[in-house]
Amino acid sequence: MVPRQEVPNVHIFSTRAGDVIVRPDLDCYLLLPPLPTSPCADLRPLHPSLRSGEHYFSSRWCDSIYVIRGNKLLEAEDLTAGATKPARLLHASCFGGQRYFIIAGGSIGILMGPGTVTAVKDLSTGEPDPEAAPLGPRQWFKEKMGSSRSYLYWQLWDPFNGEFFSFHPKILSFLPGGLGLLKGSAFGVWTLLDTIRNDSDTPVTRALDITQRVGCATETLADIGDAWTVSLSDAPKPGSVAVAIAKAQFALPVQYGGLGLNTEQEEWEELFYKEKTLQFTLQSQEGAYVWQYQLGLGKETVLFCRELKVTHSSDPPSEIPLPPSS
């Protein structure tokens, strides 16, 4: 999995309604039964006023869900319904935390860095809470919070016993990098569509009709959200979220199963066929090779790009026709 410090746009916490995984970059979240064994999840939209947050947190015994965006603190009872109170400014001592979480008793814990945890009664005043419940083994924070292959879910009031559980695959795909673990690492390849050759002794001009597939092979992504329910009328469709997750996977660095490429300008609609006629002037004994760039996961092609390249060698083009993601 991608480390949280490299892809901060995922937030896992509990609420009174159930466990939640928020993807602010996708403007939606999953509401789950108790993690991590069930594939069931309800896909819900983030209210526009609660989007683009840097931190989302709550707990099973807390009425409010907190959202930190910049130096402002928002409170909501439901992430689909918007803020229930006016935004407040964070106190300077509470700004810049790596993690925020609710402690038994109602205080808020702030992980300022590895092994450095503090507790306050109110994020807008910064008033310390010296009577807050113990915040857990500091050594565990140091060793586990930066894990490069997992997101961690735990209950702060339980002693950590060294036992980890796997997310169900239907849930894993919602996390950054999870799609690469399930389907295989991303690949980009030039595929030969057609060739034309002049075997005569004189130059010739010829036309070549190309049938090109363009768009997303959505059937390769159909299993991503097939266990998710949609209970709200304004919720995003699982299919559209699956496409957004695929885009995000291709944008990830290679070491996390991505390609580091931005595919936003490509055609992501359902796969269609496009006819094109190319004109060639070929010298004697010269050939032309027509290539299309395609992206996929594991062994399946997902995206058929619009870009075509013509070479006069049977070797595929060396350039990548997509911009880097960062």
114-145 pLDDT, tens digit per residue, is 767 788 999 999 988 877 655 554 433 444 44
Does any domain span residue 248?
A: yes
Q: Are residues 220 and 95 in the same domain?
A: no
How many other CB atoms are found less than 10 A from the CB of residue 148?
13
Strands 55-57 and 287-297: unpaired
Q: How far apart are CA 188 and CA 260, in angstroms?
A: 11
Q: What is the CATH number of the domain that holds 107?
A: 2.110.10
Q: Are residues 107 and 205 in the same domain?
A: no
Q: Are residues 224 and 140 in the same domain?
A: no
Q: Are residues 265 and 170 in the same domain?
A: no
| The pLDDT of residue 39 | 62
Helix-, strand-, coil-residue percentages of the chain, each rounded to 5? 15, 35, 50
Band (213; pLDDT cuts 50, 70, 90): very high
218-234 mean pLDDT: 87
Written as one letter, the residue type at 261 is L
Q: What's the angle, vertex CA 313, arms to CA 308 and CA 314, rounded to 5?
A: 80
Band (240; pLDDT cuts 50, 70, 90): very high
Does any domain span residue 117?
A: yes
Residues in contact with 260: Cβ distance below 8 Å, sequence separation at least 6, in sequence order = 251, 252, 253, 254, 324, 325, 326
Does any domain span residue 324?
A: no
- The structure's pTM equals 0.84
Q: How far apart are CA 212 and CA 298, in angstroms?
A: 22
**Residue holding tokens 């070549």?**
208
Task: Please state the domain count of the chain.
Answer: 2
| The pLDDT of residue 302 | 98
Q: Are residues 163 and 16 in the same domain?
A: yes
Does any domain span residue 319?
A: no
Does any domain span residue 198?
A: yes
| The pLDDT of residue 57 | 94
| The pLDDT of residue 281 | 93
| The pLDDT of residue 147 | 44
| The pLDDT of residue 81 | 92
Determine what percent of the chain is predicted with pLDDT higher than 70.
85
Look up the domain containing 229 and give its range.
180-311
Helix (H) or strand (E) holding 97: none
29-43 mean pLDDT: 75
- The Cα-based distances of 126 to 106, 121, 304 in angstroms read 14, 7, 52
Q: Considering only CA atoms, which of 70, 71, 53 is closest in space to residue 13?
A: 53
Q: Considering only CA atoms, which of 288, 325, 295, 324 is closest in space to residue 309?
A: 288
Q: What is the DSSP string of 24-44?
A: GGGTEEEEESSTTT---EEEE
Which residue did the predictor score with more confidence, 249 or 231?
249
Mean residue pLDDT of the chain comes to 86
Does any domain span residue 263?
A: yes
Q: Are residues 35 and 110 in the same domain?
A: yes
188-204 mean pLDDT: 95
Does any domain span residue 146?
A: yes
| 36 has pLDDT over 90 | no
Which of these three, 176, 201, 227, is where a domain ends?
Answer: 176
Which of these three, 148, 176, 204, is where a domain ends?
Answer: 176
Q: Are residues 95 and 35 in the same domain?
A: yes
Q: Are residues 165 and 32 in the same domain?
A: yes
| The pLDDT of residue 153 | 42
Q: How far apart are CA 73 and CA 75, in angstroms?
A: 7
Q: Are residues 122 and 239 in the same domain?
A: no
Q: How far apart are CA 277 and CA 87, in angstroms?
A: 58
CB 270 within 8 A of CB 240: no
Which of these three, 176, 209, 240, is where a domain ends?
Answer: 176
Q: Are residues 169 and 291 in the same domain?
A: no
| The pLDDT of residue 141 | 42
| 35 has pLDDT over 80 | no
277-294 mean pLDDT: 95
Which residue did the predictor score with more confidence, 143 or 97?
97
Q: What is the DSSP string of 142-191?
A: HHHTT-SS------TTSPP-S---PPPHHHHTTSTTHHHHHH--EEEEEE
Q: Is 141 helix (H, G, I), strand (E, B) or coil?
A: helix
Does any domain span residue 83?
A: yes
Q: Are residues 192 and 57 in the same domain?
A: no
CB 84 within 8 A of CB 100: no
Q: Are residues 102 and 151 in the same domain?
A: yes
**Residue holding tokens 């026709």?**
321
Band (107; pLDDT cuts 50, 70, 90): confident
| Phi then psi dihedrals of residue 153, to 5 deg | -130, 125
| 189 has pLDDT over 50 | yes
